[in-house]
Amino acid sequence: MATRTVLLACFIHFFSLLWQSLASPIEDCARLSRSLPGLVFRNGTREFAESITSYFYVQARLLPACVVSPRDAEEVALAVDFLSKTGSPFAVRGGGHGSVTGAANVARGITIDMRSIADVYLDHGTATLKVGAGATWDMVYNRLDPHALSVLGGRAAHVGVGGYLTGGGISFFSPQRGFACDYIINVQVVLSNGTIVNANATHATDLFIALKGGSNNFGIVTRFDLRTFRQGDLWGGGIVYPNSTFEKLLGTFTSFKQLESFDPFAEIELSFVYLGSSSTSIATSSLYYAKPVVNATTFMPFMLVEPQLSNTLRISNTSDFAKETLALSTQNQSSVWATTTFTMTSTILSRILPIWQASALAMNRMTTITSSMTFQSIPPPPPRGMPNSLGFHTKSSPEKNLVLCLISIFFEDTKSQEDLELATKDFIRAVDQVAEDEGAEELFTYLNYAAGWQNPLHDYGDEVLNDLRKVAIEYDPAGILQKQMGGFKLS
């Protein structure tokens, strides 16, 4: 009898704790609904379903207790201040393109959907673009292209502004102009206590620097003010090749990365793709030249590689190229992304290719996948006096000698998520081992491509990481954003 009594007490205590963990967010949703009438949506409503299904990848489509859709910074402040006092887990989403589960959505918590804060306003007098954090890059380019202006933004139309910029950002124009975050002039941000501040080069400067690469650890960004630049049409597009061209393409990209051939107007992504459904492999080169120069000399070696399965090279505008990238993207599937960086050597790519090929075949034995391995350059560091948090010294030249490697896996069998994450982790470890063998290792993990198990903020270096922690303590002393939000943390 005593044993039964103890077991019953344990059973009741367990379910009491479970109910408390579930009840708190549910109660918070009810209270938020009274403070923000018509802006809080629960499961079963059309607005809730639309928000969840709009995430680009299936693994991000968690089911929160409710979705809050604020329309301005003041409503964000109200929600964040309230949640900071309840302890309930919460997340903030913009475009919803990220691949890390739990970074922009939260199961059984409260998700703040920023997509109603998406105004794009061009100040012609100062050539400054004010962009709501819930906007996507197609909205930005559609606003700027008619004025022959641009900003450093995403290369795919559907990518959200907020997460992209706070993670650094690589653009069509990055070889010449740097990371996208370096063109931020001002950030409007809601702190965890509900205070709204503007961070820039003269006010809250430490916060301003931290937000340029430090992700969601300091506050909820509601608006970015971006520096524009003159930019008319450019030349670009993509070439698709059969697998017989792989070795030639590796040599061509290796030559492209030679220091003496650096062209600041040339941006390229070289990808190798395995299509598990047909057991075939192809390669693609996405080429962009920031001037309307047909058949730019820098890219001629890639254009001369034959045979070609398709070729879309043309003169067009940024909006068009971003839409083309979206059309080629793999939506409504699960995905795994991971990344690493290394210094270019004459042999490193040819050593990595068979590792990827073997990895793709092994993953396809788990479930049908599409595997893509992409090589591209790292942008240059910011000018002196305009720092970001990404860790590159102002005198370094990562754009000339470093290569960013991205592996992305797409699949429909959601039960294979964990196994494919482990296999991807093994692939990254193998690439890092090759880089170490060649004396080419580089401690940089690009946050916007990183897997959940990677530590991009730590890879910025101890000095930067310590600075970021100091900023987090100053602006979020209770550690609300470290404890109640997901994503890449500073601990």
The predicted model gives 35-41 an average pLDDT of 97
**Which domains are assigned to the chain?**
2-115 (3.30.43.10), 118-230+461-483 (3.30.465.10), 234-459 (3.40.462.20)
The answer to whether the beta carbons of residues 269 and 376 sit under 8 Å apart is: yes
Phi first, then psi, for residue 253 (nearest 5°) are -70, -40
Q: How confident is the model at residue 301 (pLDDT cuts 50, 70, 90)?
A: very high
pLDDT score of 261: 79
pLDDT score of 10: 44
pLDDT score of 237: 98
The answer to whether the beta carbons of residues 59 and 97 sit under 8 Å apart is: no
pLDDT in tens, 91-129: 999 999 999 999 999 999 999 999 999 999 999 999 999
Q: How confident is the model at residue 14 (pLDDT cuts 50, 70, 90)?
A: very low
The predicted model gives 234-260 an average pLDDT of 95
Half-sphere exposure of residue 119, counting CA atoms within 13 Å on the CB side?
A: 10
The predicted model gives 424-452 an average pLDDT of 98
pLDDT score of 385: 86
Phi first, then psi, for residue 285 (nearest 5°) are -120, 120
Count CB-CB contacts under 10 A for residue 401: 19
pLDDT in tens, 360-373: 999 999 999 999 99
Residue holding tokens 């430090």?
214
Alpha-carbon distance of 306 to 221, in angstroms, equals 47
Residue 19 has pLDDT above 50, yes or no: no
pLDDT score of 12: 38
The answer to whether the beta carbons of residues 451 and 100 sit under 8 Å apart is: yes
Alpha-carbon distance of 2 to 339, in angstroms, equals 56
